[in-house]
Amino acid sequence: MNTFRMTTFAAVVAAGTFIASAMQVADAAAAQRIEPTQIEMGDSARLTITASGNDASTISPPMIAGLEFVAVAQSQRIETINGVSSASTTVTYQVTPQEAGVFTIPGAGPGSAPVVLTVNPSSGRGAVSPGGAAPNARLSNLPAGSTRVTANGTAFVRLRLSKHELYVGETIPVDIQVGMRDGFVASLNGLPTLNGDAFTLNKLSSQPQRAEEIIDGQPYTVLTWHSALAAVKPGELALTIETPLTVRIRTAARPDAGLLGEGDIDDLFNDPMIQNFFGASREKEITVASAPTAFTVLALPTRDRPADFSGAVGNFSISSDVSDEKVAAGDPVTLRLRISGTGNFDRVTTPMLHDVEHWKTYSPTAKFTVEDDIGHRGEKTFEQPLIATQPGTQSLPALTFSWFDPTTRRYVVARTSPLNVAITAGTPASQGSSRVSLAPAPSRNTSASLAGDRDNQGLRPDHVDLGSTTASLMPHYYQPVYIAAPSLLLAAFSGGWFWMRRREQITLAEAEQANEFPQTDSLLESMEEARAAGDTTRFFQAARLALRGALASQWQVDPALITLAEIEARLGAGSVTARVFKLADEAAYAGATLTPADFQWWKKLVLREISNEAMS
Amino acid sequence: MNKRTLVISLVAALIGMASLAGAGWAGIVNAPADRSAYSAPALYNLGNFYARLGRPAMAVLNYERARILAPTDLDIQENLSYVRASVRLPALHSQHDRLADPNTLYWIGVLGLAITGVTLLLRRARSEHRLVLTAGAIIGGLLMALSLGDAIATSDTRHEYVVMAATPARASPTSVVEPLFTVPLADVVSVQDEHLLFALIRDTQGREGWVARRDLAPVIPSADSSTSATT
């Protein structure tokens, strides 16, 4: 009984304290408004909160996952009416959305009405429907996986998928859901990621869907991304998904639940605004992981595997056509192969045609048209330019494509029908100047052909003569094999140069050793002295004497008979010896002068001539 | 070896080099060993084909490749300018407007080297006709300079890529930072650096940024590139 009275008294005191606090809060918060109420991604809105009193710290920004609040203005207003003064404080926040959806911003305090902000995707994507889901966006129709909420109940990550047995390379649709307890999650710090290297995940859908869900009586905002999952190796494997979050946690002890019970009071104290008001919470970054999901991944069978199997797994159908069924020879046509269905389109490849008789083939290009938001369903189109080289009805062979069907657990080989293209000779008049023919045509590489010679698309016409070919577009300068050619040539010339120089030195040495011209040494010394003195006349006289002696010895005649006329007759007027004789006369009679470099050059020539005459 | 033998050998070497160069011009040296060979008209025609299909990036890529082999071809330059204008790209710069294609100029350089080497050796071996031999060495040197200049001018081509899809350029090689600018479709950019899946590019306006490599196609494909054209 005594205990009952004490409990009742404590409850009354606590209730009185709470009511007083609630009244204080009610006094502090007055109103809030948001303008505009509907914006697009990339834009921002302005939230204005007005509270009575002159203490701006009583106003705090809301915490809404997906919205960022930045205070941009603050003002105070004091009014005196009939001698009674009242003050109010206004804080304006810039609200920037991080994702599209409909956001409900709770009241700034008890008695303040919530406001709704609608965020549409960027222009051209349509408006967001109430409830947060984009128009035409499918809700998750996959079976729900197990939900493992964090220990403090603030968030969870969940995986929803259609099956748990798949083949290596097979892609299956998967929904990744992140649940966040309203008011407890300050921000989502990144996209969900796989934990492990046995699976790959396609690019997540650009905008997550938003929905509300009640779990264990608590409201959660659930964001859902659609994607496609694929396994890269066989075995019994498990997968978890992780997401980084910032949550707000309590730092002050809440009132004893035993006294007040688990109910509205508890919820009220858990309200983040109330916690923030009392300064009883702080933010913390955590990583939330999903419960492990088990998979059985099967290896693709090797039996009956087609030779051209490229790793495509799914359910596909193929078709082919050509851009024109009748063209002129030399005109390009496009061969198209369309592969549509569901599966791992990143492994859907085909070499198309090559080495087809009467056709020139070019490398194909591929274009993937996605029909869902995860890249699992769509159509991949391969386009290959072809040019017929001969007129007549030319056939394009059938195209094949093979894949593994996980439903029937068999390989499938699909084959298109051969296509016939009528190739006409020459240029049909109806096809305009853009068409080319096999008939010889003058080169169009001259400026004269530029005048007004364009097709109906403004392009200059094709070239008929395909000219010479090269194996690489890389210029020869940068190909090692071509760099070697001039290098070898340069080395050969350098080697020849040094060989000739060495040969001259050896010849001179041999001539000196033979000592066939005893007077040569003194004459050479005389030349050197004249060179040092810059005496041109003396230099050439010594050179003439040396050459005369060498020639007399070679020709077995008296040196006095060695004249310029005799030399010109025997050696030619342009020979070095004849020129030395002429220069000796010029220096003696006309006073010719030489530079130091000329002295050296002529000395070398005279020495070489002497040695040549000694050797011959 | 006497001088006459030496002279005959050098002249024979000169004739051999000239013949080799001539063979290169005639396409004999460059004859394709297989079907994966390039020719300027075939690339030009392929560019026209893609232009008519309404695919300007592929058209520009093939025109740029054709322009490497035939830089003086006015048809290629006209159609390339036309396609660039159709996607609102600025007018062509005259980087490739050279005297001849790089491979011809390469052989001209080799010929110049041969002439220079032979004339210098002859000039050393013979005392006659020095003026003529000096002139020959100068001519050979000019031919080498012409080839060397073209090699320097061509060096940038190795780093040129065509933008196959309009792509955002960012300040760092990651997709989470805000784009600095968007590189337009079919523009030709120069790749300065690469990091994982990104390439640091410089566009025609001198702007630099990191873009996804999958949005670029090299003007000069590597040997195993799937985008090479067959003729």
CATH number at residue B176: 2.30.30.40
Boundary residue ending a domain (B155, B176, B194): B155
Average pLDDT over residues A303-326: 89
Residues B128 and B140 in one domain: yes
Q: What's the structural domain count of chain B? A: 2
Residues B147 and B187 in one domain: no
Average pLDDT over residues B58-78: 89
Q: Which tokens hold the place of A76?
A: 């105070």
B chain contacts of residue A360, beta-carbon cutoff 8 Å: 42, 230-231
Residues B151 and B200 in one domain: no
Q: Do B38 and A497 touch (CB under 8 A)?
A: no
Residues B149 and B173 in one domain: no
Give SS3 for A384: strand
Residues B175 and B210 in one domain: yes
Which are the contacts of A39, defined by CB distance < 8 A and separation ≥ 6?
A: A45, A97, A117, A118, A119, A120
A439 has pLDDT over 60: no
Q: Tell me how far apart the alpha carbons of residues A568 and A574 are, in angstroms, rounded to a whole number.
A: 8
Q: Which tokens hold the place of A401?
A: 């494509």
Domains in chain A (CATH in brackets) are 27-120 (2.60.40), 155-251+265-297 (2.60.40), 304-431 (2.60.40.740), 493-615 (no CATH)
Nearest CA in chain A to B53: A334
Residues B164 and B212 in one domain: yes
Nearest CA in chain A to B32: A471
A104-127 confidence digits (pLDDT tens) = 887 776 667 788 888 877 654 333
Average pLDDT over residues A96-107: 79
Restricting to A residues 489-518, those with a Cβ less than 8 Å away from any Cβ of B are: 489-490, 492-493, 496-497, 500-501
Least reliable range by pLDDT among A216-220, B24-28, B79-83, B102-106: B24-28
Q: Where are the beta strands (DSSP E) in A189-344?
A: 193-195, 199-201, 209-215, 218-231, 235-250, 281-289, 293-298, 314-322, 326-328, 332-343
Q: Do A500 and B17 touch (CB under 8 A)?
A: no
Restricting to B residues 180-199, those with a Cβ less than 8 Å away from any Cβ of A are: none
Residues for chain A: how many in total? 616
Least reliable range by pLDDT among A122-131, A249-258, A530-539: A122-131
B chain contacts of residue A464, beta-carbon cutoff 8 Å: 41
What is the separation of C-alpha A83 from the centre of its chain, rounded to a whole number of angstroms?
A: 71
Which of the four pLDDT bands, split at 50, 70 and 90, describes residue A313?
very high
A575 has pLDDT over 80: yes
How many other β-carbons are positioned within 10 Å of the β-carbon of residue A521? 12
Residues B150 and B173 in one domain: no
ipTM here: 0.79
A335-345 confidence digits (pLDDT tens) = 999 999 999 98
Please name the member of B38, B44, B151 whose beta carbon is closest to the beta carbon of A463.
B44
Residues B16 and B120 in one domain: yes
B46 domain-assigned:
no
Q: Tell me how far apart the alpha carbons of residues A151 and B222 are, in angstroms, rounded to a whole number.
A: 55
Q: Do B74 and A447 touch (CB under 8 A)?
A: yes
Q: Do B79 and A385 touch (CB under 8 A)?
A: no
Restricting to B residues 125-184, those with a Cβ less than 8 Å away from any Cβ of A are: 125, 127-128, 147, 150-151, 154-155, 157-158
B207 domain-assigned:
yes
A chain contacts of residue B228, beta-carbon cutoff 8 Å: 363
B20-52 confidence digits (pLDDT tens) = 555 454 444 444 444 457 889 989 999 998 988
Which of the four pLDDT bands, split at 50, 70 and 90, describes residue B191?
very high
A5 has pLDDT over 70: no
Residues B104 and B213 in one domain: no
Least reliable range by pLDDT among A431-445, B121-135, B188-202: A431-445
Q: Tell me how far apart the alpha carbons of residues A25 and B117 are, in angstroms, rounded to a whole number.
A: 99
B68 touches chain A (CB under 8 A): yes
Residues B134 and B163 in one domain: no
- Quote the pLDDT of residue A449: 34
- Percent of chain A having pLDDT more than 70? 75
What does each C-alpha distance from B137 to A419, A470, B13, B108 come to in angstroms? 62, 31, 15, 14
Q: Regarding predicted confidence, which is higher, A430 or A9?
A: A9
B14 domain-assigned:
yes
B chain contacts of residue A388, beta-carbon cutoff 8 Å: none
B21 touches chain A (CB under 8 A): no
Provide the domain limits for residue B187: 159-218
B191 domain-assigned:
yes
Q: What is the DSSP letter of A292?
A: P
B75 domain-assigned:
no
- Quote the pLDDT of residue B210: 93
B77 domain-assigned:
no
Q: Which tokens hold the place of A134?
A: 């984009």
Nearest CA in chain B to A454: B79
Which of the four pLDDT bands, split at 50, 70 and 90, describes residue A402?
very high
Average pLDDT over residues A127-142: 41
Per-residue buried b or exposed e for A405-436, using 16+ beta carbons within 10 Å of the residue's own CB: bbeeeebbeeebeebebebbeebeeebeebbb
Contact between A316 and A340 under an 8 Å Cβ cutoff? The reply is: yes
B chain contacts of residue A474, beta-carbon cutoff 8 Å: 158, 220
Q: Regarding predicted confidence, which is higher, A258 or A502?
A: A502
- Quote the pLDDT of residue A376: 86
A264 has pLDDT over 50: no
Boundary residue ending a domain (B155, B175, B191): B155
Boundary residue ending a domain (B155, B175, B199): B155
Residues B214 and B163 in one domain: yes
B39 domain-assigned:
no
Q: Do B37 and A497 touch (CB under 8 A)?
A: no
Nearest CA in chain B to A453: B75
Q: Which residue has the tokens 């159709």?
A: B86
Nearest CA in chain B to A605: B127
Q: Tell me how far apart the alpha carbons of residues B30 and B21 are, in angstroms, rounded to a whole number.
A: 11
Q: Tell me how far apart the alpha carbons of residues A345 and A94 are, in angstroms, rounded to a whole number.
A: 43
Pairing of strands A326-328, A419-424: parallel
B15 domain-assigned:
yes
Please name the member of A445, A469, A501 whose beta carbon is closest to the beta carbon of B32.
A469
B chain contacts of residue A362, beta-carbon cutoff 8 Å: 46, 229-230
B228 has pLDDT over 70: no
Average pLDDT over residues A393-411: 90
Q: Do B109 and A486 touch (CB under 8 A)?
A: yes
Among residues A357, A303, A308, which one has the least CA distance to residue A337? A308
A40-52 confidence digits (pLDDT tens) = 877 788 888 888 7
Least reliable range by pLDDT among A340-344, A604-608, B118-122: A604-608
A395 has pLDDT over 90: no
A367 touches chain B (CB under 8 A): no
pTM of the model: 0.41
Residues B196 and B145 in one domain: no
Which of the four pLDDT bands, split at 50, 70 and 90, describes residue A75?
confident
